[in-house]
């Protein structure tokens, strides 16, 4: 049984959702609402008591996910476990509640913005648009940005957001098949992005969930731990630089490595020998994944390579997309990878292949 607190900031208001989840069960909203930014710290103490529950923030600036909470953000201890784009967070909640499909264009109509997510949250693209002009123009711009013409559309509407009929009509006109999402009373009217952020706090290693950017160096630990950790980080950074150059050779034009990978190398040094051991195991898994994948992947086959680790884990999560139309870019070469590469491939209608799984650690272990 895990609990997490999700927060969605919009201006000086913060929507919150306290979510609990048991293994193999649907998430449950325990509390939800909205408070002014100035009352957030008191709310956290009231909801969590003496426990330091993990929390995550869904916030955007100019349509982009923030890299860290703003300078006026009052909740500092404990620090944020994760950050999400509000569109990704909202889609994640709908996905985990079983209301979204992998082929869906998710559209969330709010009074001030129009948010969207294409496909599985964190895997497909996501974004938002301000509602400044006619709503039909915003819907048309959304579909061009998402390249989602003709896709089935799942539409969620905030109770006080006007224009639901216009959105439904414009989506249908563009060839989409819109359906309106209905919520159960058990969700307590929770803000979708706040509820999705709570899931990110519970599972920070899932796609679309990011580690906050560091603002200062961590406090010093025991001398021995500091030296060993510095050696581990330095070695990983050196190897990462070499392998980044290799990635440029193996990837096609326009390939990118998401910022989530770099956040892994910026993790702080552990405070105990046990945590140090896990850090070194994570580094080994990360380095091994980079080295083997870049050696085995056909030249130009990698469009996107994403490696994720989280505190307490000894393995690296892998997500990569193979370029359609490149000779040898099918998933056949994955069969020759070592046994500790536990990867699964999934092909899409556009010819691309998404590969997900893990490297290192023990199956079912940390």
Residues 202 and 54 in one domain: yes
Question: Using omega within 30 degrees of 0 as the cis cutoff, is the peptide bond preceding 78 cis?
Answer: yes
Residue-wise pLDDT for 83-112, tens only, equals: 999 999 999 999 999 999 988 999 999 998
Residue-wise pLDDT for 17-47, tens only, equals: 999 998 878 899 999 999 999 999 999 999 9
Residues 60 and 202 in one domain: yes
Number of domains in the chain: 3
Domain-located, residue 278: yes
Residues 146 and 243 in one domain: no
Residues 70 and 195 in one domain: yes
Domain-located, residue 365: no
Percent of the chain with pLDDT over 90: 33
Residues 63 and 43 in one domain: yes
* Section 231-255 average pLDDT: 47
Domain-located, residue 156: yes
DSSP structure string for 310-363: -TT-SSEEEEEEEPTTSTT-SGGGGGGS-TTEEEEEEE-TTS-EEEEEEESS-T
Residues 135 and 246 in one domain: no
Residues 198 and 284 in one domain: no
Q: The CATH number of the domain where 126 resides is what?
A: 3.30.420
Mean pLDDT estimate for the chain? 80
For residue 114, give its domain range. 100-180
| Contact of 21 with 27, CB cutoff 8 Å | yes
């Amino acid at each position: 049984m895990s609990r997490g607190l999700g927060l969605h900031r919009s201006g000086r208001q913060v929507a919150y959702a306290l979510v609990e989840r048991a293994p193999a069960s649907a998430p449950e909203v325990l509390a939800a609402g909205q408070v002014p930014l100035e009352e957030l710290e008191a709310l956290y103490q009231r909801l969590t008591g003496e426990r330091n529950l993990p929390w995550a923030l869904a916030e955007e600036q100019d349509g982009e996910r923030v890299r860290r909470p703003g300078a006026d953000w009052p909740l500092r201890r404990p620090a944020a476990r994760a950050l999400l784009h509000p569109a990704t967070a909202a889609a994640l909640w709908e996905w985990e509640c079983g209301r979204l499909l992998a082929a869906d264009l998710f559209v969330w109509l709010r009074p001030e913005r129009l948010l969207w997510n294409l496909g599985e949250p964190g895997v497909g693209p996501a974004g938002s648009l301000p509602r400044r002009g006619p709503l039909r123009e915003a819907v048309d711009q959304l579909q061009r940005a998402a390249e989602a013409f003709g896709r089935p559309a799942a539409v969620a509407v905030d109770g006080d957001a006007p224009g639901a009929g216009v959105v439904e009509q414009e989506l249908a006109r563009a060839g989409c098949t819109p359906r309106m999402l209905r919520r159960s009373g058990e969700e307590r009217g929770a803000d979708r992005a706040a509820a999705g952020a709570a899931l990110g706090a519970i599972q920070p290693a899932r796609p679309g969930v990011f580690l906050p950017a560091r603002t200062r160096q961590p406090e010093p630990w025991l001398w021995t731990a500091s030296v060993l950790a510095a050696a581990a980080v330095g070695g990983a950074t050196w190897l990462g630089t070499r392998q980044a150059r290799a990635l440029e050779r193996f990837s096609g034009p326009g390939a990118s490595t998401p910022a989530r990978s770099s956040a892994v190398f910026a993790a702080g040094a552990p405070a105990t020998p046990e945590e140090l051991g896990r850090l070194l195991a994570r580094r080994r898994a990360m380095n091994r994944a980079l080295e083997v994948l870049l050696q085995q992947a056909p030249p130009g086959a990698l469009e996107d390579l994403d490696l994720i680790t989280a505190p307490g884990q000894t393995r690296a999560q892998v997500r990569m997309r193979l370029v359609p139309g490149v000779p040898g870019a099918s998933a056949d070469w994955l069969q020759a990878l070592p046994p500790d590469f536990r990867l699964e491939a999934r092909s899409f209608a556009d010819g691309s292949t998404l590969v997900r799984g893990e490297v290192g650690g023990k199956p079912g272990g940390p």
